[in-house]
Amino acid sequence: MRVGSTLLRGLRQGSLAVLVGLVKAYRFFLSPWLGSACRFTPTCSAYALQALEQHGPAAGTYLAARRLARCHPWCDGGHDPVPAQPPRFFSFPSSERDLS
């Protein structure tokens, strides 16, 4: 294993921990005061946690931001689970062999 990949893995895990911590802090401190107004199932914060855990910090943040942009009074809402596959532009080859 190369030092660069170890550093990137650590950076990814650290940023993931910070993002998950921010969502959990929102759920603990702000959500009780704001009340439950989410139009989707699962709630936007639960969706964000699932997206971050399933797809990592970059794709998870993108999916959560896209979901928040759709959560407004004119949206019907409904059941909207985290997709099984990350968005196409977040899909990277898993090894150098895939690049050829």
Q: Are residues 83 and 62 in the same domain?
A: yes
Virtual torsion, Cα 60, 49, 38, 22, nearest 10 deg: -90
Domain span at 64? 37-89
Angstrom distance (rounded) from CA 55 to CA 16: 10
Is residue 98 situated within a structural domain? no
Residue 9's pLDDT is: 87
pTM over 0.85, yes/no: no
State how far the Cα of 51 lies from the Cα of 40, in Å rounded to an integer: 15
Q: Is residue 94 part of a domain?
A: no
Same domain, 8 and 27: yes
Q: How many domains does the chain have?
A: 2
Residue 98: CA count within 13 A, CB half-sphere: 5
pLDDT means per 10 residues in the chain (100 residues)? 77 94 95 84 95 95 95 89 89 48
Alpha carbon distance 19, 27 (integer Å): 13
Check whether residue 15 and residue 58 sit in a common domain.
no
Structural tokens at position 34: 């704001």
